[in-house]
């Protein structure tokens, strides 16, 4: 009788010792990073391109020749220079990076909205939301 109890205690102890600790979820919502790429200027400028142009625009720049890339960047710099003094300040550059990131968010929201608005009336009813979100379960 003592042996089965001892065996049970040892089994429970072994299971508890090998179990993973529970994950602690952070309660603070942090802004998404400017790029999913690693920031290492010694290797490449991919992170900077994503942050400056936005991920989609950066992909299109990868396909351009250096001359085309310079020409398009020159046009973008004209948009960044809000006071049109011929120089880009740190504040103007920060504002542009925030704009590029928000533009991606707004475009993603628009795609999501179209995916939920099944009857394309410009509104998302509870039924449409439920079907788009949980439809595979129902």
pLDDT in tens, 26-81: 655 566 666 767 777 777 777 777 777 777 777 787 788 888 888 888 888 888 99
Question: What pTM does this model have?
Answer: 0.46
The percent of residues above 90 in pLDDT, for the chain, comes to 7
Q: What's the rounded Cα separation, in Å, for the pair 131 and 133?
A: 6
The mean per-residue pLDDT over the stretch 12-37 comes to: 61
Residue 52 exposed, middle or buried by CB count within 10 Å (0-12, 13-18, 19+):
buried
Rg (CA), the chain: 26
Token pair for residue 117?
A: 């608005």
**pLDDT: which is higher, 54 or 123:** 123
Place of tokens 């290797």: 43
Q: What's the rounded Cα separation, in Å, for the pair 37 and 40?
A: 9
Which residue, 54, 49, 58, is CA-closest to 106? 54
Token pair for residue 9?
A: 């205690």
Q: Contact at 8 Å (CB) between 88 and 80?
A: yes
């Amino acid at each position: 009788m003592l042996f089965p109890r001892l065996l049970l205690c040892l089994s429970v102890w072994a299971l508890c010792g090998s179990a993973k600790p529970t994950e602690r979820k952070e309660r603070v919502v942090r802004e998404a990073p400017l790029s999913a790429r690693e920031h290492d200027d010694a290797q490449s400028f991919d992170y900077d391109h994503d942050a400056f142009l936005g991920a989609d625009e950066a992909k299109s720049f990868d396909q351009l020749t250096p001359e085309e890339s310079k020409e398009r960047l020159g046009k973008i710099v004209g948009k960044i220079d809000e006071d049109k003094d011929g120089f880009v300040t740190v504040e103007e550059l920060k504002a542009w990076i925030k704009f590029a990131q928000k533009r991606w968010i707004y475009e993603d929201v628009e795609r999501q909205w179209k995916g939920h608005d099944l009857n394309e009336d410009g509104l998302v009813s509870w039924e449409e939301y439920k079907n788009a979100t949980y439809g595979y379960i129902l």
